[in-house]
Structure 1
Amino acid sequence: MPNVIPVKLEYAVHELWFDPAGTGAQEGDHVIVQTERGHEIGLAVGDAQSMNNDELTLAIGHAQLKSVLRICSDADLDHAEQLAQRGDEALPVFRRYASASGLEMKPVGVEFLFDEDKAVCYFAAEDRVDFRQLVRDLSRELHVRIDMRQIGVREEAAIVGGYGHCGQELCCRRFSTSFDPVSIRMAKEQDLPLNSTKISGACGRLMCCLRYEFEAYRDFKGRAPKRNAVIDTPLGKGKIVEYNTPKEQIVLRLEGGKTIRVDLADMTASEAACKKSQELGCACRPDTVTREVLEKLQSPDVQMALAELDRKNGVIPAEGPDASDIFVDTRKRRRERLSAQKDEGKAQGEDTRRRRGGENRAAEQPAAAQEGRRRKRRAPGDGGNGTAPAHMKPAADAAEPKAGGATRRRHHRAEGADEASEQERQQPRGGGMRPRRRRPGDKGGAAAQQQTQAPKQQGQGGQQAQGGQQAQGGQGGQGENKPRRRRRRRGNGGGQGGGNAPAAE
């Protein structure tokens, strides 16, 4: 069996196999190899290994196996770096002439072979291009033989390089050895959104990585229940809403709205499902989740639901609130403590008010009145409290304040003011003036007191002067006890039919 070593060339899509030819090349060595185009420099990506003829024919076809010339020295590496720089300088020239010729092509790169005998120009185009005139122009400009090589968009991405949606280097640039066909069915099987911007690579075609997990997705879906299928569980019916293919898990939504993840290997098939699969001649799919599987999930919601189910079925007795539940116990005790404090405060307040009320009444009333008190008969004009009106009391008693210091702050009258008020109250409304009321600015009744003393003195003389007129049958008798007002002092006479006695000045 021949020994071969894989070598990766810069502008080659996949690895090429060469014969080590006793050079001792190993993985990571830069080597000079012989190809159909001439001498080229490449990188050994693996160690030498033995391969039988069938495998070698499958790898390189019927082409002849080329050999490795030597391992690169420092001089060879410097020369390769100069050739790469010349290729970068020749690329703008290639683009300029391609644009001037009006050809529909996209220049990708220019490679100078290691022996500087030929320059290979790579371009991408959808159709065949007549580049004969372009070859003449480039040969005259670069002074070497020109070899034109048309490549596809996938090969262009592999040569140029870049980064994909995942943030990693492009697979075709990093490790891919061939371009396998990729279809939209692979994206559907993996439940990916059919959006061209999300499932397309840098080359504009479907991403190569769609093919990597396609077989795993197809195998998992062939063994798992269909989506939206109904699964029996101890907590009721469940519906399949999602797959997790890398972990081989199924997401179920229960009747109460809870979602659980169950491994496909833990699910079992019922007798009805097995019988139906035998009738249809297809694989038996599981449709039941047992209680043991739910207990292994380590989910608090599932454990609480199982405990509630056991209490409902009478497996375990119903329990009240747990004493270890600090949150609920603390709030309950706090409410009870606040309620007790509130009731105690109300009781203390009532006792204090009752005690103070009894002391006040005992201080105000004499001891004899506390032992036996009978209700006095109400007399007219006493205000319902059994006391004589002010005009019936002596002057000394009228001037005395009430027992206990309770005096009226609203009206302060001088001696004799109560008597005048009573006379005004007894006078009919048809004749005479209204009683004088307190007005703002009278200084608490002091002004009214001065005004009422003068009419009182004048009223005594007026009554004597009018005595004769009242005896003649005049109607002035209505003002007999009425104090004289300012209008009467001006000579208006007392009463509707009174005499014309002059007012006392």
Structure 2
Amino acid sequence: MIEVIGVKFQKAGRTEYYSPGKERFYKNEFVVINHKKRGMELARVIIPNKAVNDDEVVTPVPAIHRRATEEDLIKYEQNIIDADKALEICKKHIHNHELDMRLVNAQYTLDKGKIIFNFTASERVDFRELVKSLAFDLKTRIELRQIGVRDEAKILGGIGPCGRSLCCATYLGDFEPVSIKMAKDQNLSLNPTKISGACGRLMCCLKYENDYYEETRKKLPDIGTMIDTPHGKGKVIGLNILDVTMQVKVPEMEAPIEFHIDEIEI
């Protein structure tokens, strides 16, 4: 067994695990982590000290750098303000260098040792001259990271077709594969405008609900199957997976009859 804590660097980011050492941390407490890729970062504790099996985490588990102080929190808030200013500077340089790229956001590491610019572009961008201009103005290490449209939606947030805040920006940690087959299995219109999210890709909630549809669909007969009903043999002509019901055409009846799965022996 090994003791770990789970932290998130962003509200809807992925949970990462670190060793607390001899310290005890509590939920929603802030910690400082020396991230191997991003450098010094502030993170929020999501899972307090917890003992897990060695095979549940990737070993060796990196250690927490230290507990965050009030000074760290003030510096973090100031870094957000400074990152917004750096974003405007970067936009001007992109315009001057005539680069075909769209800036999404900018993030300073906690110690301001590096600033990360996330951007989207339709193709590969040669931004070497841009990096030189930014390094001259900002006097820190520059990292430009090209991201996809789903990551852009996750960072910027927004309102989905359902009228609620985007799932990716509120609680989904990772993006899972979503296919058009999921929409077909859920009897949804295959009109792209109906099944696409704010990012223009298939809605993440198709995957979220897919397991229920797959499990329920196995209980129901295929359309065209002949089954025994309390009114005699009939042919299944329609299914309603949400209600776990089927529409059956019985020869002796004028109109189709709806049966719940519990009423029929398949």
- The Cα offsets for residues 317-358 of structure 1, whole Å up to 9 and x where unpaired, read as xxxxxxxxxxxxxxxxxxxxxxxxxxxxxxxxxxxxxxxxxx
Partner SS state of residue 68, structure 1 = coil
Q: In structure 2, what residue type is equivalent to 1:192?
A: L
| Correspondence for 2:15 | 15
Q: CA deviation at 1:253?
A: 5.5
| Aligned residues with identical type, % of pairs | 37
- The Cα offsets for residues 211-243 of structure 1, whole Å up to 9 and x where unpaired, read as 122233223323312224454444466554443
Partner SS state of residue 155, structure 2 = helix
Partner residue of 2:263 out of 266, 276, 290: 266
| Correspondence for 2:254 | 256
Within-5 A mapping of 1:455-474: none
Partner SS state of residue 144, structure 2 = strand
| Correspondence for 1:4 | 4
Partner residue of 2:77 out of 78, 81, 89: 81
Partner residue of 1:100 out of 96, 102, 114: 96
The answer to whether the aligner puts 1:53 opposite 2:54 as a matched pair is: yes
The answer to whether the Cα contact below 8 Å between 2:11 and 2:171 also exists between their aligned partners in 1 is no
Say if 1:259 and 1:234 are closer, same or farther in 2 by CA, change over 3 A: closer
Q: CA deviation at 1:192?
A: 0.8
The answer to whether the aligner puts 1:206 opposite 2:202 as a matched pair is: yes
| Correspondence for 1:131 | 127
Within-5 A mapping of 1:287-298: none
The answer to whether the Cα contact below 8 Å between 1:4 and 1:17 also exists between their aligned partners in 2 is yes
Q: In structure 2, what residue type is equivalent to 1:54?
A: D
- The Cα offsets for residues 392-446 of structure 1, whole Å up to 9 and x where unpaired, read as xxxxxxxxxxxxxxxxxxxxxxxxxxxxxxxxxxxxxxxxxxxxxxxxxxxxxxx
Q: In structure 2, what residue type is equivalent to 1:40?
A: E
The answer to whether the Cα contact below 8 Å between 1:241 and 1:251 also exists between their aligned partners in 2 is yes
Q: CA deviation at 1:15?
A: 1.9
The answer to whether the Cα contact below 8 Å between 1:123 and 1:151 also exists between their aligned partners in 2 is yes
The answer to whether the Cα contact below 8 Å between 2:12 and 2:171 also exists between their aligned partners in 1 is no
Q: CA deviation at 1:202?
A: 1.3
Counterparts of 1:203 and 1:122 in 2: how far apart (Å)? 16
- The Cα offsets for residues 88-128 of structure 1, whole Å up to 9 and x where unpaired, read as 22212222222322222221111111111111111122432
Counterparts of 1:233 and 1:215 in 2: how far apart (Å)? 28
The answer to whether the Cα contact below 8 Å between 1:34 and 1:66 also exists between their aligned partners in 2 is no
Within-5 A mapping of 1:226-265: 226-235=222-231, 238-252=234-248, 255-257=253-255, 259-260=257-258, 262-265=259-262
Q: What is the TM-score with the length of structure 2 in the denominator?
A: 0.88
Counterparts of 1:184 and 1:251 in 2: how far apart (Å)? 25
- The Cα offsets for residues 108-167 of structure 1, whole Å up to 9 and x where unpaired, read as 111111111111111122432211100011112222221112222211111111221222
Counterparts of 1:170 and 1:229 in 2: how far apart (Å)? 40
Q: CA deviation at 1:259?
A: 4.3
Say if 1:147 and 1:249 are closer, same or farther in 2 by CA, change over 3 A: same
Partner SS state of residue 104, structure 1 = coil
The answer to whether the Cα contact below 8 Å between 2:12 and 2:169 also exists between their aligned partners in 1 is no
The answer to whether the Cα contact below 8 Å between 1:239 and 1:253 also exists between their aligned partners in 2 is yes
The range that moved more, 208-217 or 192-201, is: 208-217
The answer to whether the aligner puts 1:148 opposite 2:144 as a matched pair is: yes
Q: In structure 2, what residue type is equivalent to 1:44?
A: V
Counterparts of 1:215 and 1:175 in 2: how far apart (Å)? 19
Q: In structure 1, what residue type is equivalent to 2:254?
A: G
RMSD over aligned Cα atoms: 2.3
Of the two structures, which has the highest relative contact order with CA contacts closer than 8 Å and spacing of 6 or more?
A: 2
Say if 1:12 and 1:40 are closer, same or farther in 2 by CA, change over 3 A: farther
The answer to whether the Cα contact below 8 Å between 1:13 and 1:159 also exists between their aligned partners in 2 is no
| Correspondence for 2:65 | 69
Q: CA deviation at 1:29?
A: 1.2
Higher strand share: 2
- The Cα offsets for residues 436-486 of structure 1, whole Å up to 9 and x where unpaired, read as xxxxxxxxxxxxxxxxxxxxxxxxxxxxxxxxxxxxxxxxxxxxxxxxxxx
| Stretches of structure 2 lacking an aligned partner (at least 5 in a row) | none
The answer to whether the Cα contact below 8 Å between 2:25 and 2:45 also exists between their aligned partners in 1 is yes
Q: CA deviation at 1:70?
A: 2.8
Partner residue of 1:166 out of 156, 162, 165: 162
- The Cα offsets for residues 259-291 of structure 1, whole Å up to 9 and x where unpaired, read as 43x2213311xxxxxxxxxxxxxxxxx2xxxxx
The answer to whether the Cα contact below 8 Å between 2:15 and 2:173 also exists between their aligned partners in 1 is yes
Partner SS state of residue 201, structure 2 = coil
Counterparts of 1:138 and 1:56 in 2: how far apart (Å)? 38
Say if 1:126 and 1:11 are closer, same or farther in 2 by CA, change over 3 A: farther
Within-5 A mapping of 1:490-505: none
Q: CA deviation at 1:9?
A: 0.8
Partner residue of 1:197 out of 181, 193, 197: 193
Say if 1:82 and 1:243 are closer, same or farther in 2 by CA, change over 3 A: same
Counterparts of 2:257 and 2:88 in 1: how far apart (Å)? 60
Partner SS state of residue 160, structure 2 = coil
| Correspondence for 1:27 | 27
Q: For the pair shown, which has the larger CA radius of gyration, 1 or 2?
A: 1
Q: What is the TM-score with the length of structure 1 in the denominator?
A: 0.48
Counterparts of 1:184 and 1:124 in 2: how far apart (Å)? 24
Q: CA deviation at 1:72?
A: 2.5
